[in-house]
Chain A
Amino acid sequence: MKNKRLDLSYSQMKWETIFKQILKIMSVLILVLVAGILITLIVESMPSIKSLGIKFLWGKVWDPVQNIYGAYPFLVGTLLTSFIALIISIPFSYAISIYLGEYNPKGWLSNLLKNTIELIAAVPSIIYGFWGLFVLVPLIRTFEMKIGVAPYGIGVFTSSLVLAVMIIPYAASLGISLIRMVPSPLKEGAYALGATHFEVIRSVIMPYTRSGLFAGVLLSLGRALGETMAVTMLIGNTSAVANTIKDAIFGPGNTMASVIANEFTEADHTVYLSALIELGLVLFFVTVIINLIGKRIITKFTNY
């Protein structure tokens, strides 16, 4: 009897090749797109790079009227908001990871919590901005009056608080999966030696997942660095460099992303526009590097 499956027609074979090619083209297209974005950023930054040079990076004054551009206030603003946000979010994401990864990995409460935390990442950032303006700003203003700094309400600290909430899911959901992946023979080995639950977490789960949890934190840092809308709404948008640490934290500021969002439509001459785009280029590199480091650590960790 003749086997029909062996009798592949020429058109069937051709379709196999075409299908594979379509998949390949679509995947490569994305690569081309990202490369295109990078090239556009570089080309459009050229006027600014030519007229301002490398000192653009640490120039402290940003004054479009006099055509002076320095990225320093925004670099500081970006790093400051992101790191404060990170410091606030780390205890939460670690606590959530350990609770949902180890103490309560199954059941409706666990699922509800995990889904809600993942939902945090899905809420549009403009909604966080609104919430921050209407709820957080008045609270912060009261708080600032109590500790004796200028009660702006808006500012670096307020943005960091909202950012902290926004980035929790990135570190937490990775952390939950990693902690659930710790091999149970290892945990049982520790229990069998008389370890308590806390001791198992401290001495078995934490060392085993440490680098992975750190990578999750880096990923959430990458997210914080680039966040635009909520920060723009809350940071106060001033390009002046603060004089004291207190002012830098509680006073208004600007990040690279927020200054681009705010001033892009006002940029009325070539160098101004180009300087903004160069800020974008710097931001691009900073986030890409942070993400690459995070990914590398995760790969290293999963091969372990």
Chain B
Amino acid sequence: MEHTVVSATNFNAWFGDNHVVKDVTIGIEKNQVIAVMGPSGCGKTTFLRCINRMHELIPGATAKGSLKLYDDEVYTMNPIYVRYKIGMVFQRPNPFPNLSIYDNVIAGYKLNGLKVPKAELDNIVQKSLTSAALWNEVKDSLHKKGTFLSGGQQQRLCIARAIAMEPEVILFDEPTSALDPISTSSVEQLFHELKTNYTLIIVTHNMQQAARVSDKTAFFYLGELVEFDNTKQMFTAPSDVRTQNYITGRFS
């Protein structure tokens, strides 16, 4: 494999005694869109949250095994640095309600008290909003509160906020499940553009979405990674019967 960005080897995660991610081994390549799908409670979101060490913020949550960003072990790195390098977009748009659109985009810099010259910040804001396909809609109201935007715009604002930190990887936790169909398609379109610069890992409940946007798909079932293959291959000729059953709708 060339240019593996994120790789897990025998990776496990728990909530207390509840073993939610079991022995996952996976290698994710640069500039690809990876869809992670599976039924509810299969551990896909937990696995995603392990990649940027958000999992451990929940009391009682633990993880074991090897998880690497390039050649560095994520679990021996400073979690703050991990989260700079691996951005995240959540299920529900969560712009900071007390901040303007402008300040939301550079929230990562502000939170950490990084001193960046104003001109550079302006540049970051414009670049990130442009990459998130939001610049034209908000360029005249940058100093209004981010919560005035529509749900889809808010989600793109959250994507811009993640891009502003110039991460290697962006994680998406069911990013369109709280959006209407039009906003959903605008976010999906964005995935195609973002993959030229970033590696995207998208957890989704929606199989059509996985088929539409991803290069490769990982199928999780009961905490195990059942299958990881090219999306086309997976949806036309899955090699595991459980994947087959899931895709054909025998369970969900």
Interface set of A (CB-CB < 8 Å, partner B): 106, 183, 185-186, 188-196, 199-200, 203-204, 207-208, 304
Contacts and interface: CB of A to CB of B under 8 A. Distances in A.
Contacts of A200: 111
B94 A193 contact: no
B96 A195 contact: no
A204 B96 contact: yes
A254 B118 CA distance: 55
B112 A194 contact: yes
Contacts of A191: 54, 57, 83
Contacts of A194: 80-81, 83-84, 108, 111-112, 165
> By CB atoms of chain B within 10 A, which of A106, A203, A208 has the most?
A203
Interface stretch (B2-10, B85-93, B192-200): B85-93
Contact of A186 (B84, B88, B96, B162): B96
29 contacts: A106-B59, A188-B57, A188-B90, A188-B94, A189-B95, A189-B96, A190-B107, A190-B111, A191-B54, A191-B83, A192-B54, A192-B87, A192-B88, A192-B162, A193-B83, A193-B87, A193-B107, A194-B81, A194-B108, A194-B111, A194-B112, A195-B80, A195-B112, A199-B112, A199-B113, A200-B111, A203-B96, A203-B110, A207-B96
Question: Chain A interface secondary structure, helix, strand, loop or mixed?
Answer: helix
B161 A186 contact: no
Contacts of A190: 96, 107, 111
B153 interface: no
B97 interface: yes
Contacts of A304: 97
Interface in B117-165: 158, 161-162, 165
A100 to B, nearest CB: 15
A303 to B, nearest CB: 13
B90 A189 contact: yes
B108 A193 contact: yes
B98 interface: yes
Closest 10 A-B residue pairs measured CB to CB?
Answer: A193-B108, A192-B88, A207-B98, A194-B83, A185-B94, A195-B111, A189-B94, A194-B80, A194-B84, A199-B111
A184 to B, nearest CB: 9
Interface of B: 52, 54, 57, 59, 80-81, 83-84, 87-88, 90-92, 94-98, 107-108, 110-113, 158, 161-162, 165
A29 to B, nearest CB: 42
B203 to A, nearest CB: 14
A207 B59 CA distance: 24
A203 B111 contact: yes
A294 B90 CA distance: 35
Contacts of B112: 193-195, 199
Q: Which of B57, B83, B111, B113 has the most CB of A within 10 A?
A: B111
A208 B83 CA distance: 23
B86 to A, nearest CB: 9
A199 B111 CA distance: 6
B47 to A, nearest CB: 16
Contact of A192 (B81, B83, B98, B110): B83
A189 B98 contact: no
Contacts of A199: 111-113
Of residues A193, A195, A203, which shows the largest number of chain B Cβ atoms within 10 Å of its Cβ? Answer: A193
A185 B90 contact: yes
B121 to A, nearest CB: 15
A183 to B, nearest CB: 8
Nearest to A190: B111
B80 A196 contact: yes
A29 B248 CA distance: 66
A199 B83 CA distance: 14
A287 B87 CA distance: 50
Nearest to A105: B59
A204 B108 CA distance: 12
Contacts of B52: 192
A119 to B, nearest CB: 26
